[in-house]
Amino acid sequence: MQHGTASDRHKYPACYGHALKGGDHAVRKRVILRGFVCVCLALLAVTSGVAAQQTQPSVMNNTTAPLVYSQEEFELRTAMDKLWTEHVVWTRMYIISSLEDAPDTNATAARLLSNQEDIGDAIKPFYGEEAGDNLTALLKEHILIAVDIIEAVKAENTSQVEADSARWNQNADEIAVFLADLNPYFEESAIREALYMHLAMTNDEVVARVNGNYTADIEAYDEIYDQILDLSDTLSDGIVQQFPERFGK
């Protein structure tokens, strides 16, 4: 039989007395009784521990299961996030270069416009060549209006800024209508609101940069970055919902 450990002896010293002398029945009975009590105490300690574990909330039970995407859905979401991130990154690069009349302004503008082609190409597998080209055209108009606004800001032409901003909002309306016509899961009002927010944040970015308030400029960009990923998720969600069979649904 395995003897108790030192720890057991420390917890239950009555269980580990000296050896009995022969014929000492009274002592034997007391030791047996003590042994029985020790066993009961040990069992109580074990069962109490189990009960305590059961009453404690399980971390696993309270953790939301991670999202699991098929390879096709993962690739779509990754591609959309990359393209829309590039949209705001290269817009920012253009704002900085243009306001400073940097020599890379034209090259930056060309890269920004090519991003709109990439976004249009990304929807062609789902909606066809014409739809992709139309989205590219609308997004390029969005960029070119932004260029006009920046030029008007540099010239301190307030009335022109207001006129171009109205054109910017109208272009956002057209993009929202276009996308909603493509996909019933693209809610026109939600997309319009997201685009308006994108325009307002970009305007704040430009104004802060012009005024030399670089802290506000950076804060505006951080907000733009987060918000454009929300828009990317909205578009990816809609495509997956419209074509579930292509994403293992």
> What is the C-alpha radius of gyration for the chain, rounded to an integer number of angstroms?
35
Asked whether 227 and 219 are in contact (CB, 8 A), the reply is no
What separation in angstroms does the CA of 142 have from each of 72, 166, 182?
A: 30, 12, 19
In this prediction, residue 166 carries a pLDDT of: 98
Name the nearest CA neighbour of 239 among 77, 57, 53, 47.
77
Q: What is the mean pLDDT of residues 98-126?
A: 98
Helical H runs in the chain?
6-11, 25-55, 71-99, 105-127, 129-154, 158-182, 188-210, 214-242
Domain ranges of the chain: 6-55, 71-247
pLDDT band at 61 (very low <50, low <70, confident <90, very high): low
CA distance linking residue 210 with residue 235, whole number of Å: 32
What separation in angstroms does the CA of 203 have from each of 107, 146, 150, 153, 211?
A: 22, 9, 9, 10, 12
pLDDT band at 22 (very low <50, low <70, confident <90, very high): very low
Name the nearest CA neighbour of 224 among 188, 248, 191, 200.
200
User: Could you give the percent of the chain with pLDDT greater than 70?
Assistant: 73
Residues 6+ apart with CB under 8 A from 165: 149, 199, 203
pLDDT digits (tens, 9 = 90+) for 160-192: 999 999 999 999 999 999 999 999 999 999 999
In this prediction, residue 40 carries a pLDDT of: 46
pLDDT band at 37 (very low <50, low <70, confident <90, very high): very low
Q: Integer distance in angstroms from the first to the last C-alpha of the chain?
A: 60
Q: What is the mean pLDDT of residues 144-149?
A: 98
Name the nearest CA neighbour of 35 among 53, 50, 21, 17.
17
DSSP 63: S
Residues 6+ apart with CB under 8 A from 220: 201, 202, 204, 205, 208
Check whether 27 has a pLDDT greater than 50.
no
Residues 6+ apart with CB under 8 A from 130: none
Give the helix/strand (H/E) hosting 200.
helix 188-210
CA distance linking residue 202 with residue 87, whole number of Å: 12
- Encoded amino acid at 37, one letter: V
Q: Which of 43-52, 66-75, 234-243 has the lowest mean pLDDT?
A: 43-52
- Encoded amino acid at 131, one letter: A
